[in-house]
Amino acid sequence: MLRRMYDWCVAAAYRPAAKWILGTVSFAESSFFPIPPDAMLIPMSLARPDRAYSYAFLCTWTSVAGGVLGYAIGALLYDSVGQWLISAYGLGAEADAFKEYYAKWGALIILLKGLTPIPYKLVTITSGFAGYNLLLFVLFSVITRGARFYVLAFLLHRYGDRARSIIEERLGMWATIAAVLLVVGIVGALYLL
């Protein structure tokens, strides 16, 4: 199954709708979807290293746009949808403490958590819930998400062929590492909030 999904992502890089698919995943991940865009960005950039930077640009801006939706969920719908999403990750009780941290450390929280495997939707929804300045939220989101995706693009563009053979040789191992990082991120969010 993992190989089929990887092959599908690689093949998607050659389809006309590739950017639409990647942009949709990136947008959705920032507000409600559980799978990060890296799951598509990496195979697509390995298949087309010449497009790695355009994929990073797309992921950055669609992620920030999705982040604004997440912010709106937190600001306008926290009592229903936002609270449900936060609770789905087991962080309901921590949301109030997280809100207090925003008064002091909002910029640092957005910048650091946007780079980590901690689900970004937690930052976006809580930023809206905490009433963090929307313009600053967007600015810091562009910086942190851009840094994350452009570093990946640089590495995949520069080492694309070698990275592709290494990843394809041991796809299961790399998928396991990615899953562990995601779980560590979620667990980290539980204990760092």
Q: In this model, does residue 108 exceed pLDDT 90?
A: no
Residues with Cβ within 8 Å of residue 96, at least 6 apart in sequence? none
Core vs surface per residue 52-74: b (16+ CB within 10 A) or e: bbebbbbbbbbbbbbbbbbbbbb
Q: Where do the domains of the chain lie?
A: 2-192
Q: Is the dihedral of CA 90, 92, 96, 100 positive or negative?
A: positive
- 126, 192 Cβ separation under 8 angstroms: no
For residue 163, give both structure tokens.
């990275």
pLDDT, tens digit (0-9, with 9 covering 90-100), for 33-42: 777 788 788 8
Where is pLDDT greater, at 51 or 173? 51
Tell me how far apart the alpha carbons of residues 110 and 48 are, in angstroms, rounded to a whole number.
Answer: 30
Answer yes or no: pTM beyond 0.85. Answer: no
C-alpha 119 chain-centroid distance = 6
DSSP state, residue 92: T
pLDDT, tens digit (0-9, with 9 covering 90-100), for 47-76: 888 889 999 999 999 999 999 999 998 888
